[in-house]
Amino acid sequence: MTDSSHLTLMDLALDEARAALSTGDVPIGAVITGPDGSVLATGRNEREAHGDPTAHAELVAIRSAARALREAGTDDGWRLEDCTLVVTLEPCAMCAGAIVLSRIPRVVFGAWDEKAGAVGSVFDILREPRLNHWVEVYPGVREEECGRLLSEFFRARRQK
């Protein structure tokens, strides 16, 4: 069930995705809220900006959230328990693995990724029963808008 906070947080994730366009990165954005529901961290794809193949929006946000929790003196800082990740595209296998390892209990995403998605499209890592952590998933939040942003980006790249 999608609630109004998911829609509002997806606005922030879409803003991050649009900001990725300024560096030529694929427009994917992410937001992580803390246990109290406030924004703890944001991220956008930065692979082109930093020449880092692991700089996906989710990983940028996870690193930032862990740093914020550590600086706030919350536990050890790397367990993002009771946080929520909102991202414009279904996470890939690398990001899904990081979500599991960081113990994020909820993921909200926009567009499905039929080629590389690891939350139901190609794999379902977040709900793999053999892993030690499972994630509640809210798919398809503002799916059309998230998908259109990506489609327009790739259409423009093909035309160049």
Binding residues for Zn(2+): 56, 92, 95
What span, in angstroms and rounded, lies between the C-alpha atoms of 126 and 133?
8
Residue 140 and residue 146: Cα distance in Å, rounded? 9
Residue 100 · residue 129 · CB < 8 Å: no
Catalytic residue among 16, 46, 58, 90: 58
Binding site as annotated, residues: 56, 92, 95
Active site residue 58: yes
DSSP class of residue 125 equals G
- Provide, for the chain, the percentages of residues in helix, strand and coil under a 3-state DSSP scheme, each rounded to the nearest 5: 40, 20, 40
Helix (H) or strand (E) holding 6: helix 4-20
**Hey, how many other C-beta atoms are within 10 angstroms of the C-beta on 59?**
21
Paired strand residues for 109 = 87
- Active site (catalytic) residues: 58
